[in-house]
DNA sequence: TGCGCAGGTGTTTTT
DNA sequence: CACCTGCGCA
């Protein structure tokens, strides 16, 4: 083992060596906090601390995995595998699996993701005959979620005067009632949502002193990364767990607090200093990541915030290139610019694809960049958005696995009882669901007694067959391994057959996804457990794991040489040589939702700060004058944050040049319209603006058999044309992209010769 | 009961 | 533009 202290600076070293008592590390962006954390843990283990007694909580699964690997490489042995390290959610899901039965939950409880939770809320709103436009599932969910993050039970929620007034004012006085039903229903289903994992951990630790004592003893050292993004529930859990040894070390940066919408509160940082009299505070202020220019620009931006801990981030790196400000005419032009710039940088400065990241405020902004990168043949990968395990076909399959593991789970039961279609309709389901509630039985129990509530004929026998099959799998669930069971379920219930019969491109993709799911289960069953033994692993653990996985956690093709696209949120903790921060416009960044409140706006500014500080060498800040939104063109002013960058650090030549850039127009009606040269107008001159090198042909000219080019799908052949002249739909075969139905009136297609 | 179509509606950010 | 929902028809 090498001398792990040698590469640390004074403050870093101090933080590593200060192991006893409460410690807060205020770590600026790029100041080596992961290095400090991993070295600190390695140092503890090296000093004889039992690795089983160290708890480290991170913000993402990926961060946890990487930390584990780094600790292993410092130590040169496999001690790190014994650490309790992971996200709050995954670590406490693991704890709850052991302890949940004390609270009346099955140890195989199901974890509901946001989609599951919203669908349950939806059905409760429906049952109560409330207007689902007023009681929108997402609104109600957010309301319940933030209550839980602040440790409100439904009872407290209903009794809280302020909350009741808020709900009354928003004309949604029933939210408390929905909250109550929702909580009871989750409990009855043997299910916890994301927030419950924290809330129930808190309840467990406060209501069961013997449990608290057990984990307090166990965790001799507690470390928390990204402390600025913890919420009240997490704060209390951590405080309880570390109360005995008080060897608690938190690492955070108030300037990077960007999750308040999820209940996170920077207050926790200030509170930490009040909670412990003997708290030690170490600031890491040397930045090892970015050039002087980037760092100075970032410092300047964040200094506009009122609410912050003062610190002075510095670097001894050279100043480097100026920040490049880019203005494009439309969002498509912006995409094209970025792709071109990447191409140019690759050729000129020998960068490869993986040296670039495109950061945007919202997931929906990725499209223009996908198109332009694809057109130049640049490999890219989008992080975020829909994770693999959230795809519909995967969730359906997973729902089968869930009910085998936990038959109380009504949501999952409803999801698949008639998939593939077997003739159990909505009417019967409503009947059963209602009866189950009245008789206080689980949905599954009620299914077994369907005859007693007047269900008969073929529906009854289908239900009977279904119940028998489920019971069969439950009975063998203990004996066979997870992969075999999953495989057989697919066969037995006709899921595999159903997917296999769909020969469309989408259908094939779905089938492949299911194969991938099955492979992942197989891999899971074949991976040795923590003691290195190859035991038959329970399906329940697998299911809990995958629900807590996000897209960013998938690292299968991590090493592929791709340009990365992601939201600024998703980029936290990462670094890249070249960063494009795009869509820097009012209403987008800052978001229109966050412009009218100082605290919200400051969070947007911190977000911008996070974006800039991801970069090692180059930053481009880009905005477009016009962009498509809901299918029509809108125009935004450049973001106010651009003005906050010091002008001497910004190269604005690309923004000025764009003002005289030639843009190609084609009119909607007549082809071969004269190409106009224009200065950038502040409002769109035309409703139809294709990217400049692409001239669409008239819809009327399209004929079957023609080769056409589509800006997103590439080159394809028109298979059929259907519909009236005003509303023609073409089926076009784009080869590897599959067959697409395209509305000619909307799509821009160019005829190839 | 199941599928197809027309129309309405929607964009923060995520464990 | 893309998705989802609700409604109408077989």
pLDDT at A383: 87
Rounded distance between C-alpha atoms, residue A13 and residue A16, angstroms: 5
Helix (H) or strand (E) holding A210: helix A209-218
Estimate in Å the CA A220 to C1' B1 gap, whole number.
60
**Grouped pLDDT means (10 residues each) for chain A, 753 residues:** 85 97 95 95 95 94 91 90 93 95 95 91 88 89 93 95 91 93 95 96 97 97 96 96 96 94 90 93 96 96 88 92 95 94 95 96 92 92 81 90 92 87 80 86 89 82 90 86 90 86 78 89 77 66 87 65 93 95 95 89 96 97 92 90 96 70 33 27 28 52 68 64 47 58 52 63
Estimate in Å the CA A139 to C1' C9 gap, whole number.
35
- The alpha carbon torsion through A347, A351, A357, A358 (nearest 10 deg) reads -10
pLDDT at A369: 94
Closest C-alpha to A87, from A239, A226, A200, A213: A226
Helix (H) or strand (E) holding A25: strand A23-27
Rounded distance between C-alpha atoms, residue A369 and residue A334, angstroms: 8
The nucleotide whose C1' lies nearest the CA of A142 is B14
Q: Is the CB of A748 under 7 A from strand C?
A: yes
pLDDT at A529: 59
Rounded distance between C-alpha atoms, residue A429 and residue A105, angstroms: 25
Rounded distance between C-alpha atoms, residue A84 and residue A272, angstroms: 22
Q: List residues, Cβ < 7 Å, touching strand B.
A: A 59-61, 87-90, 113-114, 138, 194-195, 258-259, 261-262, 361-364, 384, 418, 421, 423-428, 459, 548, 550-552, 566-567, 569-570, 591, 593-594, 600, 629-631
pLDDT at A211: 97
Q: Identify the residue whose tokens are 């509530």.
A: A453
Catalytic residue ranges of A: 33-34, 225-226, 256, 614
pLDDT at A672: 27
Rounded distance between C-alpha atoms, residue A335 and residue A373, angstroms: 8
- The alpha carbon torsion through A562, A565, A569, A572 (nearest 10 deg) reads 20
Q: Identify the residue whose tokens are 């220019």.
A: A293
Rounded distance between C-alpha atoms, residue A741 and residue A495, angstroms: 26
Residues with Cβ within 8 Å of A13's Cβ and at least 6 positions away in sequence, in order, are A5
Alpha helices in A7-60 (DSSP H): 10-17, 33-46
CA A69 centroid distance within chain: 23
User: Residue A593, Cβ neighbours under 10 Å: how many?
Assistant: 11
The nucleotide whose C1' lies nearest the CA of A385 is B14
Within residues 153-192 of protein chain A, the ones with CB less than 7 A from nucleic strand C are none
Estimate in Å the CA A120 to C1' B2 gap, whole number.
24
Rounded distance between C-alpha atoms, residue A17 and residue A14, angstroms: 5
pLDDT at A723: 46
pLDDT at A727: 39
Q: Are A23 and A278 in contact (CB under 8 A)?
A: no
Question: Phi and psi (nearest 5°) for A89?
Answer: -65, -45
Q: Is the CB of A747 under 7 A from strand C?
A: yes
Within residues 614-633 of protein chain A, the ones with CB less than 7 A from nucleic strand C are 628, 630-631
CA dihedral for A312, A3, A37, A547, sign (positive or negative): positive
User: Residue A254, Cβ neighbours under 10 Å: how many?
Assistant: 21
Estimate in Å the CA A123 to C1' C5 gap, whole number.
15
Residues with Cβ within 8 Å of A502's Cβ and at least 6 positions away in sequence, in order, are A508, A510, A511
Rounded distance between C-alpha atoms, residue A365 and residue A629, angstroms: 10
The nucleotide whose C1' lies nearest the CA of A710 is C1
Q: At what angle do helices A392-405 and A457-476 cross, to 10 degrees?
A: 70
The nucleotide whose C1' lies nearest the CA of A571 is B13
Estimate in Å the CA A43 to C1' C6 gap, whole number.
62
Give chain C positions with protein CB within 7 A.
1-2, 6
Q: Are A196 and A186 in contact (CB under 8 A)?
A: yes
Q: Are A223 and A246 in contact (CB under 8 A)?
A: no
Name the residue closest to C2, CA to C1'.
A630
Give chain B positions with protein CB within 7 A.
1-3, 9-15
Q: Are A384 and A552 in contact (CB under 8 A)?
A: yes
Q: How far apart are the first and last CA of chain A?
A: 65
């Amino acid at each position: 083992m090498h001398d792990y202290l040698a590469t640390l600076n004074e403050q870093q070293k101090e933080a590593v060596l200060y192991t006893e008592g409460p410690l807060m590390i205020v770590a600026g962006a790029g100041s080596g906090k992961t290095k400090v954390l991993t070295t600190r843990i390695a140092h503890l283990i090296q000093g004889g601390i039992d690795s089983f007694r160290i708890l480290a909580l991170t913000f993402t699964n990926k961060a946890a995995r990487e930390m584990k690997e780094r600790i292993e490489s410092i130590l040169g042995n496999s001690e790190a595998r014994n650490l309790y390290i992971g996200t709050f959610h995954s670590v406490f899901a693991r704890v709850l699996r052991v302890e949940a039965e004390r609270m009346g939950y099955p140890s195989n409880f199901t974890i509901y993701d946001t989609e599951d939770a919203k669908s349950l809320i939806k059905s409760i709103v429906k049952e109560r005959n409330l207007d689902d436009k007023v009681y929108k599932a997402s609104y109600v969910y957010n309301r319940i979620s933030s209550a839980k993050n602040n440790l409100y039970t439904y009872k407290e929620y209903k009794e809280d005067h302020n909350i009741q007034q808020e709900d009354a004012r928003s004309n949604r006085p029933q939210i408390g009632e929905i909250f109550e039903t929702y909580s009871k229903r989750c409990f009855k289903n043997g299910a916890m949502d994301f927030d419950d994992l924290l809330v129930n951990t808190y309840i467990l630790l406060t209501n069961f002193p013997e449990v608290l004592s057990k984990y307090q003893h166990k965790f001799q050292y507690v470390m928390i990364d990204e402390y600025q993004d913890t919420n009240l529930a997490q704060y209390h859990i951590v405080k309880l767990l570390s109360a005995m040894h008080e060897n608690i070390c938190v690492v955070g940066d108030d300037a990077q607090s960007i999750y308040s919408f999820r209940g996170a509160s920077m207050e926790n940082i200030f509170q930490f200093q009040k909670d412990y009299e003997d708290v030690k505070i170490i600031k890491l202020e040397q930045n090892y990541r970015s050039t002087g220019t980037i760092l100075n620009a970032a410092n300047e931006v964040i200094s506009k915030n009122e609410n912050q801990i003062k610190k002075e981030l510095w670097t001894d790196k050279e100043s480097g290139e100026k920040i490049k400000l880019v203005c494009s005419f439309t969002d498509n032009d912006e995409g094209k610019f970025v792709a071109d710039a990447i191409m140019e940088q690759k050729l000129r400065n020998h960068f490869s694809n993986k040296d670039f990241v495109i950061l945007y405020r919202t997931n929906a902004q990725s499209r223009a960049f996908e198109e332009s990168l694809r057109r130049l043949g640049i490999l890219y990968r989008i992080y975020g958005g829909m994770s693999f395990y959230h795809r519909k076909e995967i969730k359906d399959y997973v729902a089968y696995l869930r009910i085998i593991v936990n038959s109380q789970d009504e949501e999952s039961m409803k999801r698949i009882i008639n998939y593939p279609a077997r003739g159990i309709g909505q009417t019967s389901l409503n009947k059963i669901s209602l009866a189950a509630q009245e008789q206080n039985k689980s949905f599954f129990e009620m299914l077994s007694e369907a005859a007693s509530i007047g269900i008969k004929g073929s529906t009854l026998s289908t239900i009977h067959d279904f119940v028998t099959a489920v019971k069969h799998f439950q009975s063998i669930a203990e004996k066979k391994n997870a992969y075999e069971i999953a495989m057989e379920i697919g066969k037995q219930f006709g899921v595999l057959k159903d997917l296999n019969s769909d020969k469309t491109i989408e259908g094939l993709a779905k089938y492949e996804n299911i194969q991938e799911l099955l492979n992942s289960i197989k891999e899971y069953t074949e991976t040795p457990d923590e003691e290195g033994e190859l035991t038959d692993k329970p399906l329940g653990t697998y299911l809990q794991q995958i629900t807590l996985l996000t897209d960013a956690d998938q690292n299968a093709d991590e090493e592929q040489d791709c340009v990365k696209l992601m939201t600024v949120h998703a980029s936290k903790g990462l670094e890249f040589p070249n960063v494009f921060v795009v869509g820097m416009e009012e209403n987008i960044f800052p978001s229109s939702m966050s412009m009218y409140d100082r605290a919200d706006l400051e969070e947007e500014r911190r977000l911008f700060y996070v974006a800039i500080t991801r970069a090692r060498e180059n930053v481009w800040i880009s905005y477009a004058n016009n962009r498509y939104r809901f299918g029509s063109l809108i125009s935004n002013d450049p973001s106010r944050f651009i003005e906050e960058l010091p002008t001497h650090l910004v190269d604005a030549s690309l923004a000025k040049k764009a003002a005289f850039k030639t843009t190609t127009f084609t009119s909607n009606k007549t082809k071969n319209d004269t190409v106009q040269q224009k200065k950038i107008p502040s409002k769109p001159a035309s409703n139809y603006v294709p990217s400049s090198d692409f001239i669409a042909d008239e819809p009327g000219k399209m004929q079957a058999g023609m080769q056409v080019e589509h800006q997103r799908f590439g080159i394809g052949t028109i298979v059929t044309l259907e519909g009236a002249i005003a509303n023609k739909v073409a089926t076009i075969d784009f080869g590897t992209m599959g067959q697409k139905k395209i509305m000619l009136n909307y799509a821009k297609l160019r005829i190839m010769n």
